[in-house]
């Protein structure tokens, strides 16, 4: 009889402990996530740059690290823009001259680092501003560079300031579980303003560039942690 009572008490203890653990343990989603994205669209130069270069095709890519609503974005991109008129070129070091011909293409490229924040998240829609700093350059495309030895070494460099905003639609993960790694899948639109300082190297090259892209983003969250209440 005593053994039965002891057995019943032990069983009751384990059942109570299991129920308590199931009731009190919960999973806290991780604040960390990572993603990679790519965009296609257009780049529109303005100011003096708009006088020399036409609107062109643009593409870019990015890596993002998220902590809650804040994210670090490392991005880079390029655009191909035709010249609206001839640009006379004189090399500073040796005085050689050439003409960058109207109708030929120029490559505009950049790489930058930005900080952003998701300030609005509702119904799988998110809105985020961002700002940062980077490096940009303009040079003739390969065909034009190969046509003239002066143009082959021409590259206009500058520090650039970035600022912009975007809107994403997050495609829900049907298998979402806060304690596991979950996928991120988004499509969105982004506008990015860049202010270079090409005027410092080339007189009459003041202005800005405006990048507008349709974006596709994939990534994953980090697994959450189990905690006791």
CA dist 55 and 102 (Å) reads: 14
pTM of the model: 0.84
User: Quick check: is 20 in a domain?
Assistant: no
In a domain, 25, yes or no: no
Domain range enclosing 175: 30-222
Structure-token match 């095709």, residue found:
57
pLDDT per residue, tens digit, the chain (229 aa), is 555 554 554 555 555 555 554 555 687 888 999 999 999 999 999 999 999 999 999 999 999 999 999 999 999 999 999 999 999 998 888 888 999 999 999 999 999 999 999 999 998 999 999 999 999 999 999 999 999 999 999 999 999 999 999 999 999 988 888 778 889 999 999 999 999 999 888 888 999 999 999 999 999 998 877 776 5
Rounded to the nearest angstrom, the gap between the alpha carbon of residue 204 and the centroid of all alpha carbons in its chain is 30
- Report if residue 2 sits inside a domain: no
Residue 23, in any domain of the structure? no
Give the chain's domain count: 1
The verdict on residue 195 lying in a domain is: yes
The tokens for 104 are 């030929």
């Amino acid at each position: 009889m005593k053994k039965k009572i002891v057995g019943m008490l032990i069983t009751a203890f384990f059942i109570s402990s299991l129920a308590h653990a199931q009731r009190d343990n919960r999973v806290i989603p991780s604040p960390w996530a990572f993603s990679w994205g790519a965009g296609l669209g257009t780049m529109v130069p303005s100011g003096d740059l708009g006088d020399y270069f036409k609107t062109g095709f643009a593409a870019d890519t990015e890596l993002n690290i998220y902590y809650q609503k804040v994210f670090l974005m490392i991005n880079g991109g390029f655009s191909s823009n035709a010249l609206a008129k001839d640009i006379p070129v004189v090399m500073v070091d040796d005085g050689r001259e050439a003409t960058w011909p109207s109708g030929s293409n120029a490559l505009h490229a950049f790489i930058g680092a930005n900080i952003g924040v998701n300030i609005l998240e509702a119904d799988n829609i998110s809105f985020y501003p961002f700002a940062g700093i980077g490096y940009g350059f303009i040079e003739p495309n390969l065909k034009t560079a190969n046509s003239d030895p002066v143009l082959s070494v021409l590259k206009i460099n500058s520090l650039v300031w970035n600022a912009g905003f975007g809107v994403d639609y997050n495609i829900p993960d049907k298998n979402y579980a806060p304690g596991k790694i979950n996928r991120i899948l988004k499509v969105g639109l982004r506008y990015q303003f860049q202010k270079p300082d090409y005027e410092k190297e080339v007189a009459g090259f003041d202005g800005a560039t405006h990048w507008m892209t349709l974006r596709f983003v994939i990534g994953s969250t980090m697994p959450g942690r189990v905690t006791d209440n």
